[in-house]
């Protein structure tokens, strides 16, 4: 090394649990390769203990997140989109290294989708809630509520847009999330975690794990304190096993409809509704 030349500081991709960036408790990591085979470094390989820690963090954060006003949640999520915009070139470079055919389009679509879902925070309750017609001296209301802690398995392709498309609708209503990032291309998910950590999203609302999908998914599906799971990114040969594990505590199991990830059909208020519960309230009428 010549005088004056410096070595760059290499990035170490860690987990994101409870608003912090721990290494895996197992000490494991795995190599992340660019599309052409070049080494991009190493990502933490989460263990089932890391997954349990993430569920604990998500459960602790859920009442506070759900208790915020819908307008406040929308403001916070819009702030995330602002910060993603500020890191646009970083995301574009990471998607290019992962082999995305049009990385600029992928970043723009991810930011736009985040903004679109953020706008639903203070609208989804009016869209889904109703005053039901009943024959009797009482009112009957249907009120949507968050499910609780949601497990998300991100698609392997579209490592940023795919994760945003599953993550954003889950947290809009007040759920908290434990997400398993794309195993092949986890770096964009780690960068999104850094955006979340430096925005106003409370710690524990979103927890992101990197590692082996086949190792982590069964523990996520079988965890008794996870209320729902989005299996969009689960390999087809694991889906039946995941559904069986989810049935142990009657988890809601959701899979996104097959659609071009860039099309308007890939975003819908029904993706928010799929991870909510509907509560019916009866109220006497009159004195």
For position 9, what pLDDT does the model report? 75
Q: Is 76 contained in some domain?
A: yes
pLDDT over threshold 90, residue 56? yes
Range of the domain at 268: 48-284
Q: Is 14 contained in some domain?
A: no
Q: Is 194 contained in some domain?
A: yes
Q: pLDDT tens for residues 194-248?
A: 999 999 999 999 999 999 999 999 999 999 999 999 999 999 999 999 999 999 9
Q: Which of 179, 184, 191, 194 is nearest to 98 (CA)?
A: 184
Q: Is 38 contained in some domain?
A: no
Q: Is 36 contained in some domain?
A: no
pLDDT over threshold 70, residue 163? yes
pLDDT-derived band at 1 (thresholds 50, 70, 90) equals: low
Q: Label residue 286 left, alpha or beta by phi (over 0 means left) and psi (-120 to 50 means alpha).
A: left
For position 174, what pLDDT does the model report? 97
Q: Is 206 contained in some domain?
A: yes
Q: pLDDT tens for residues 77-96?
A: 999 999 999 999 999 999 99
Q: Is 31 contained in some domain?
A: no
**Domain count for the chain:** 1
Residue 158 belongs to domain with CATH number: 3.40.605.10
Token pair recorded at residue 190? 């780690």
Q: Is 35 contained in some domain?
A: no
Q: Which of 265, 255, 269, 37 is nearest to 173 (CA)?
A: 269
198 in Cβ contact with 144 (< 8 Å): no
pLDDT over threshold 60, residue 253? yes
Q: pLDDT tens for residues 106-150?
A: 999 999 999 999 999 999 988 888 888 988 888 999 999 999 999
């Amino acid at each position: 090394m010549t005088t004056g030349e410096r070595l760059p500081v290499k990035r170490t991709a860690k987990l994101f649990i409870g608003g912090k960036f721990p290494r895996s408790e197992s000490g494991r990591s795995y190599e992340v390769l660019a599309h052409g085979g070049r080494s991009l470094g190493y990502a933490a390989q989460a263990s089932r203990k890391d997954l349990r820690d993430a569920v604990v963090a998500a459960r602790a954060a859920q009442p506070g997140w759900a208790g915020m006003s819908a307008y406040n949640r929308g403001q916070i999520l819009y702030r995330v989109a602002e910060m993603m915009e500020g890191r646009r070139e970083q995301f574009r470079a990471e998607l290019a290294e992962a082999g995305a055919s049009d990385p600029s389009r992928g970043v723009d679509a991810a930011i736009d989708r985040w903004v679109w879902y953020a706008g639903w925070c203070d609208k989804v309750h009016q869209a889904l809630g109703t005053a039901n017609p009943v024959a009797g001296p009482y009112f009957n209301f249907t009120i949507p509520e968050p499910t609780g802690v949601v497990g998300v398995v991100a698609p392997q392709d579209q490592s940023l847009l795919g994760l945003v498309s599953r993550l954003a609708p889950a947290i809009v209503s007040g759920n908290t999330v434990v997400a398993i990032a794309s195993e092949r291309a986890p770096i964009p998910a780690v960068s999104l975690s850094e955006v979340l950590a430096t925005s106003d999203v409370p710690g524990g609302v979103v927890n992101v794990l990197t590692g082996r999908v086949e190792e982590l998914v069964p523990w996520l599906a079988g965890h008794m304190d996870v209320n729902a799971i989005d299996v969009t990114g689960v390999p087809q040969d694991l889906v039946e096993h995941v559904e069986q594990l989810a049935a142990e505590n009657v988890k809601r199991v959701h899979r996104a409809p097959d659609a071009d990830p860039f099309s308007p059909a890939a975003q819908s208020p029904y993706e928010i509704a799929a991870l909510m519960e509907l509560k019916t309230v009866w109220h006497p009428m009159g004195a």
